[in-house]
Amino acid sequence: MRFVASHGRHAMVAAAFSVFAATAAWADPPALYGDLDPLKPEKLSKAQLEQLLPGAKMSRVVATGSTHIWTNGTDGTFVISSDNKSGIGGASLARRAAGVTAPGTWHVSPDGRYCVTVEWKTIPTEDWCRYVFKTTDGYFSSITDKDRSAKVYRLVINGN
């Protein structure tokens, strides 16, 4: 391919983005535990989680569309940040733009689930435990490792 130097790079980037956007729109992300099958899921064991999670940089997009980011402290604590796109909790537009933070704790349960508690200021405490699956498309979590109709959630760990 030949492109004019001043516009060529922009044209290539635009073309690549168009292909990426079209591909992303066609591919449905896994929504159920059974949807993970083509991604070769491996349920991480308690020992694997205890190795992976201390100090890990974590993020996820919650059902409301907000992005949560935190780093697991080696002492079992973290401070979570949310961009609060949903505005849950009656936050003003200025506060939503600035985001919110809250303290939290994490641990690995005896049965090998990643457990998180977040003490949000304006909404009820968040408290959950999930099995973690490593796949060819990153990490996912689920409340079960047996029910194939259960929802799964993407969990970004150290950028994956």
Q: Does residue 43 share a domain with residue 12?
A: no
pLDDT in tens, 73-122: 999 999 999 998 876 554 444 444 457 999 999 999 999 999 999 999 88
Phi, psi dihedrals of residue 140, rounded to the nearest 5°? -135, 155
How many domains is the chain partitioned into structurally? 2
Q: Does residue 51 share a domain with residue 11?
A: no
Q: Does residue 62 share a domain with residue 117?
A: yes
Q: Does residue 36 share a domain with residue 110?
A: yes
The range of the structural domain enclosing residue 50 comes to 31-157
Q: Does residue 40 share a domain with residue 62?
A: yes
**Cβ neighbours of residue 108 under 8 Å, at least 6 residues apart?**
46, 49, 50, 53, 114, 115
Q: Does residue 150 share a domain with residue 100?
A: yes
DSSP state of 29: P
Q: Does residue 45 share a domain with residue 124?
A: yes
pLDDT in tens, 32-82: 999 999 999 999 999 999 999 999 999 999 888 899 999 999 999 999 999
Q: Does residue 115 share a domain with residue 43?
A: yes
pTM above 0.85, yes or no: no
